[in-house]
Chain A
Amino acid sequence: MARQLVGLASCTLGEVKNRADLLIYWGANPMESHMRHLSRYSAMSKGMYTPEGRKGRKVVVIDVRPTPTSKNADIFLQVTPGQDFEIATVLRALVNGVALHGLTDNSLIGGVPLAKWQELAELMKQSSYGVVMFGIGLTQSRGKDLNIEQLSTLVSELNKFTRFYGIAMRGHGNVNGSNQVMTWQTGYPLAVNFNRGYPWYNPGEFSVVDMLHRKEVDAALIIATDPGAHLPYDIVRYLQSIPTIAIEPHKNLTTPWANVVIPVAPAGVGAEGTFYRMDNVPLHVKKIIDFPYPSDVEVLRSIKERVSNVKNRQRAGL
């Protein structure tokens, strides 16, 4: 949503690998959340203009607690929770040379002295290809999308001095793929309501949690996700009270109580498909072995055909 307000300057992971001399992980702990990320794409990788790998890069971590990622950083800025918006705002001011009246070098911003932020701002401006990778520590904490809006603006402004980009450290397999397809088919990445016969977008109103919270949903088709594990308790309780169908290759925290579970072949193992990486690079995943189950596409297609047949018969008055 922050992208819809200010946009975002970004790059693919290969550019991080080949060019980035400054890496900032903010509210992200890829050492544990994206295990291959550091060695394949960022801090530890060796690329075209970064032949020294980790040695040739400056690594900064901004987080509320020490993490395995921060232990390997050159600079770790441990901040107080919920202050990300203030920090991004102060960094913007420092980068742009705006005077901060009433603050001294020792004034604490997000629990860290201003002098440290000044140092970071200089580091950012002096880098030749800087990338900030932000995770749910930033997106799901106080301020949410406003944090990202401020950070994206900071990233934009840094491009007056150097190349500087932001990348969202997205979790979950291929969540970007569903955003991409929704966008090219409806114009919006998520929270689309088709009740009116056309795509109608309003996050906060038509998002899953909000719809379920208002108990507007009277049946649910759940595909390749696990609401039983991810959604708040009372929302899950409501979901359990309505008819649910889960299309899912694995046993998870939803399948035990879903009314119908349709097992499918997992994509990339038993079915082929397209996977959109978190930097929007589309990858083809192959079918490696035969599974006794159909793919998601085959299941959805046959459901759609049967629904269409019933509807056509109804239209014809049979």
Chain B
Amino acid sequence: MLKIVNGQVYDPLNGDRGEVRDVYIEGGKVVDTLSTKIAEVIDATGCVVMPGGVEIHSHIAGAKVNSARSMCPEDHYDHFKKVTAITRSGSGFTIPTTFLTGYLYAQLGYTTAFEAAVPVLEARHAHEELQDTPLLDTGIYTLMGNNYLIMKVLSEKDDSARKNRLRDLVTWLLTSSKGYAVKVVNPGGVESWKWGKGSVDLDTPVPPFGVTPRGILLGLAEAIKDLRLPHGLHLHANHLGEPGNFKTTLETMYALEGYPIHFTHLQFHSYGMTKRWGLSSAASEIAEYLNTRPEFTYDVGQLVFGPATTMTSDSPMQFRLHQMTGNKWISADIEMETGSGIVPLAYKQSNLVNAIQWCIGLELLLLTKNPWQVSLTTDHPNAGPFTAYPHIIRLLMDYDFRNEMLEQLPPKVAQFTNLKDIKREYSLEEITIITRSGPAKDLGLKHKGHLGINADADVAIYRLLEDKEKMFARPAYVLKNGKVVVKDGEITQSLSGKSFLVDPDGSKVLPPDLIEEFAKYYTIALANYAVQDEYIIHPEVIACD
């Protein structure tokens, strides 16, 4: 039992915009009154009280993250944490070890995080790592955009048979991987890469069945809508990072109107093209359109200057990046399902392209009228590490600071972006929305992202400071499940979080023809494929309704 008194509460879902009110916590939940009078009291005078942060898109666990850790010892040498009586040791800056990842998120006031891309075949690995990631409730997104069985079912001629079979297959893949949402990465493009073919547009037929990216997207979007999954289609669209790709992004959006879609790291998909094939901002075109489509949400993938480690299932994109930078490159084709690639990078202020990318992310955030549509991310660690969130929050809340930063960039950015003309500053309420309430709603987590009755008692308390970067970098208190886990920015106890799962209303077994395909073409037996229950310690099934 615990009460937080005298704090300015930011709870946009329940209409609190800094009103001073007390928050009561019992049994890991927010309650309206305490059953006894003996309660631990946290004095939040001069502080803001917010729900714990919710990370909607981050690469923190699983095969590719671990391959990146192992490939990049240079990322860890200067960034390590010593063992204490409470915390375990760890290392890493853009790709921290699992324990350190949990601590670093908690130290920013984040209490929930989703791993953004997991092939079913390697899901067991992701869950093993998440077991070793403390202080966070977690979930994983299951990759389906280049899955052989999905494409096979999509090639079926009969409309209603196709729809039913796809629904069942999506259900089966989600439950086999113990995943939370459907992730699509460069639909069709990764399969095309395996065939040694070029990049794909929305209507390019993809081998071996000739289904198109449009077909993959519409099929999956419809299945997700039918199954009433708590989170929509989590989409990394085609042509990531290419100049002029905003046209593909918009076309993809037009094609999917009416479906619940989350467009991820949209910064990388909002590029115009200059006359000389260079990069320019198309953030306003994208934002203007999104302002008219409330069913769409997105996260930004804001670029952060400094080291980054790019990692994605978009293997052709990673090969291009490797060719362009000459940096080391890991790639891994995953049988029947997907590919993946890793390239370490450094984003530089002095580099015009990086500077434009930086502006595009901020433009998107600032031009989006409804903050409930957008979540703050850095597509960690692709555009930068999540530890930069306080800095980005200050960029959003402080126009003068933003301009100061802008002035340090190559002057030419003014030709290709409009950032300096945007005077908007985010309010604390809007920051609360894009870092916790919005992503929680987008994920369909009804007990997260707010402090109403029965909400999970995940709370972040920050001292109100003029410098918003300092304010959000060091919370006074963080509560996880009703327990104080961070005090004055330091970890006070470590505990393991929950895993979010779904149980959609589709068939849990594979039909006979696909069982046959599985037996012929996978290298593991079907009986050994699904992630066993013991890989999830504290499951929580979120209803599909």
A and B found bound together: yes
Q: Kindly specify which of B445-453, B469-477, B522-530 makes contact with the partner chain.
A: B522-530
> How far does the alpha carbon of A256 sit from the alpha carbon of B90 in the complex, in Å?
37
Question: Could you say which residues of chain A place their CB within 8 Å of the CB of B528?
Answer: 283-284
Count B interface residues, CB 8 Å. 62
> How far does the alpha carbon of A284 sit from the alpha carbon of B322 in the complex, in Å?
34
Question: Could you say which residues of chain B place their CB within 8 Å of the CB of A272?
Answer: 534
Closest Cβ neighbor of B328 among chain A residues:
A7
* Listed residue (B99, B523, B524) with the most chain A CB atoms within 10 angstroms of its CB: B523
Please encode chain A, from 179 to 212, with 1 for each CB lying within 8 Å of some chain B CB and 0 for all others: 1100111111100001011111100000000000
Question: Could you say which residues of chain A place their CB within 8 Å of the CB of B80?
Answer: 187, 198-200
Contact A198 B82 (CB under 8 A): yes
Contact B122 A282 (CB under 8 A): yes
Taking the nearest CB of chain A, how far is it from the CB of B515, in angstroms? 15
The answer to whether A293 has its CB under 8 Å from any CB of chain B is no
In the complex, which residues 73-102 of chain A have their Cβ closer than 8 Å to any Cβ of chain B? none
The answer to whether B274 has its CB under 8 Å from any CB of chain A is no
Closest Cβ neighbor of A285 among chain B residues:
B528
Question: Could you say which residues of chain A place their CB within 8 Å of the CB of B67?
Answer: 280
Of the residues A49, A128, A163, A188, contact of B70 by C-beta under 8 Å: A188
In the complex, which residues 91-142 of chain B have their Cβ closer than 8 Å to any Cβ of chain A? 91-92, 95-99, 121-122, 124-125, 128-129, 132
The answer to whether A41 has its CB under 8 Å from any CB of chain B is yes
Contact A9 B335 (CB under 8 A): no
Question: Could you say which residues of chain A place their CB within 8 Å of the CB of B82?
Answer: 196-198
In the complex, which residues 35-82 of chain B have their Cβ closer than 8 Å to any Cβ of chain A? 61, 63, 65-67, 69-73, 75-77, 80-82
Contact A156 B329 (CB under 8 A): yes
Contact A184 B132 (CB under 8 A): yes
Contact B125 A284 (CB under 8 A): no
Q: Kindly specify which of A13-21, A134-142, A233-241 makes contact with the partner chain.
A: A13-21
Question: Could you say which residues of chain B place their CB within 8 Å of the CB of A183?
Answer: 66, 69-70, 97
Question: Could you say which residues of chain B place their CB within 8 Å of the CB of A187?
Answer: 69, 73, 75-76, 80, 90-92, 95-97
The answer to whether A33 has its CB under 8 Å from any CB of chain B is no
Question: Could you say which residues of chain B place their CB within 8 Å of the CB of A56?
Answer: none
Instruction: Decide yes or no: A184 and B523 within 8 Å by CB, A4-B73, A198-B81 being known contacts.
Output: no
> How far does the alpha carbon of A189 sit from the alpha carbon of B91 in the complex, in Å?
13
> How far does the alpha carbon of A9 sit from the alpha carbon of B97 in the complex, in Å?
23
Taking the nearest CB of chain A, how far is it from the CB of B104, in angstroms? 13
The answer to whether B333 has its CB under 8 Å from any CB of chain A is yes
Closest Cβ neighbor of A41 among chain B residues:
B523
The answer to whether A281 has its CB under 8 Å from any CB of chain B is yes
The answer to whether A107 has its CB under 8 Å from any CB of chain B is no
In the complex, which residues 16-67 of chain A have their Cβ closer than 8 Å to any Cβ of chain B? 17-19, 40-41, 47-49
Instruction: Decide yes or no: A184 and B69 within 8 Å by CB, A196-B82, A198-B82, A274-B124 being known contacts.
Output: yes
> How far does the alpha carbon of A296 sit from the alpha carbon of B76 in the complex, in Å?
30
Of the residues B95, B125, B336, B534, contact of A14 by C-beta under 8 Å: B336
Closest Cβ neighbor of A200 among chain B residues:
B80
The answer to whether B83 has its CB under 8 Å from any CB of chain A is yes
* Listed residue (A14, A17, A196) with the most chain B CB atoms within 10 angstroms of its CB: A14
The answer to whether A231 has its CB under 8 Å from any CB of chain B is no
Question: Could you say which residues of chain A place their CB within 8 Å of the CB of B329?
Answer: 6-7, 9, 156
> How far does the alpha carbon of A184 sit from the alpha carbon of B132 in the complex, in Å?
9
Closest Cβ neighbor of A155 among chain B residues:
B331
The answer to whether B332 has its CB under 8 Å from any CB of chain A is yes
The answer to whether B500 has its CB under 8 Å from any CB of chain A is no
> How far does the alpha carbon of A76 sit from the alpha carbon of B88 in the complex, in Å?
51
Closest Cβ neighbor of B315 among chain A residues:
A9
The answer to whether A12 has its CB under 8 Å from any CB of chain B is yes
The answer to whether B319 has its CB under 8 Å from any CB of chain A is yes
Contact A10 B523 (CB under 8 A): no
The answer to whether A250 has its CB under 8 Å from any CB of chain B is no
Contact B71 A4 (CB under 8 A): yes
Contact B81 A10 (CB under 8 A): no
Contact B328 A5 (CB under 8 A): yes
The answer to whether B194 has its CB under 8 Å from any CB of chain A is yes
Question: Could you say which residues of chain B place their CB within 8 Å of the CB of A128?
Answer: 195-196
Instruction: Decide yes or no: A165 and B333 within 8 Å by CB, A17-B523, A186-B89, A187-B90 being known contacts.
Output: yes
Question: Could you say which residues of chain A place their CB within 8 Å of the CB of B98?
Answer: 184-185
Contact B121 A198 (CB under 8 A): no
Contact A280 B196 (CB under 8 A): no
The answer to whether B520 has its CB under 8 Å from any CB of chain A is yes
Of the residues B76, B194, B532, contact of A19 by C-beta under 8 Å: B194
Taking the nearest CB of chain B, how far is it from the CB of A170, in angstroms? 14
The answer to whether A159 has its CB under 8 Å from any CB of chain B is yes
Contact A11 B332 (CB under 8 A): yes
Question: Could you say which residues of chain B place their CB within 8 Å of the CB of A19?
Answer: 194
The answer to whether B543 has its CB under 8 Å from any CB of chain A is no
Question: Could you say which residues of chain A place their CB within 8 Å of the CB of B208?
Answer: 48-49
Contact B72 A14 (CB under 8 A): no
Contact B333 A15 (CB under 8 A): yes
The answer to whether B342 has its CB under 8 Å from any CB of chain A is yes
The answer to whether B521 has its CB under 8 Å from any CB of chain A is yes
> How far does the alpha carbon of A186 sit from the alpha carbon of B96 in the complex, in Å?
9
The answer to whether A162 has its CB under 8 Å from any CB of chain B is yes
> How far does the alpha carbon of A281 sit from the alpha carbon of B534 in the complex, in Å?
18
The answer to whether A3 has its CB under 8 Å from any CB of chain B is yes
> How far does the alpha carbon of A274 sit from the alpha carbon of B122 in the complex, in Å?
12
Question: Could you say which residues of chain B place their CB within 8 Å of the CB of A188?
Answer: 69-70, 73, 76, 91
Please encode chain A, from 268 to 293, with 1 for each CB lying within 8 Å of some chain B CB and 0 for all others: 00001010100011111000000000
> How far does the alpha carbon of A124 sit from the alpha carbon of B461 in the complex, in Å?
60
Closest Cβ neighbor of B335 among chain A residues:
A14
Question: Could you say which residues of chain A place their CB within 8 Å of the CB of B328?
Answer: 4-7
Instruction: Decide yes or no: A18 and B128 within 8 Å by CB, A186-B89, A187-B73, A280-B122 being known contacts.
Output: no
Taking the nearest CB of chain B, how far is it from the CB of A214, in angstroms? 22
Contact A4 B72 (CB under 8 A): yes
The answer to whether B334 has its CB under 8 Å from any CB of chain A is yes
The answer to whether A8 has its CB under 8 Å from any CB of chain B is yes
Taking the nearest CB of chain A, how far is it from the CB of B74, in angstroms? 8
Instruction: Decide yes or no: A186 and B91 within 8 Å by CB, A156-B322, A180-B66, A201-B73 being known contacts.
Output: yes
Question: Could you say which residues of chain A place their CB within 8 Å of the CB of B63?
Answer: 280, 282
Contact A199 B523 (CB under 8 A): no
> How far does the alpha carbon of A201 sit from the alpha carbon of B319 in the complex, in Å?
29
In the complex, which residues 480-534 of chain B have their Cβ closer than 8 Å to any Cβ of chain A? 520-524, 528, 532, 534
Closest Cβ neighbor of B76 among chain A residues:
A187
The answer to whether A117 has its CB under 8 Å from any CB of chain B is no
Question: Could you say which residues of chain A place their CB within 8 Å of the CB of B330?
Answer: 3, 7-10
The 7 closest A-B pairs by CB, nearest first: A14-B335, A11-B333, A187-B91, A7-B328, A9-B331, A187-B76, A197-B82
Q: Would you give 28 A-B contacts (Cβ < 8 Å), ordered by A?
A: A5-B328, A7-B343, A8-B331, A10-B330, A10-B333, A11-B333, A12-B334, A13-B523, A14-B336, A15-B194, A18-B521, A48-B148, A48-B521, A128-B196, A184-B65, A184-B128, A184-B129, A186-B89, A186-B90, A187-B73, A187-B75, A187-B91, A199-B80, A280-B122, A281-B524, A282-B63, A282-B128, A283-B528
Chain A residues within 8 Å of B, Cβ to Cβ: 3-15, 17-19, 40-41, 47-49, 128-129, 156, 159-160, 162-163, 165, 179-180, 183-189, 194, 196-201, 272, 274, 276, 280-284
Q: 4 more A-B contacts (CB under 8 A) besides A48-B208, A187-B73?
A: A9-B331, A15-B194, A186-B91, A280-B125
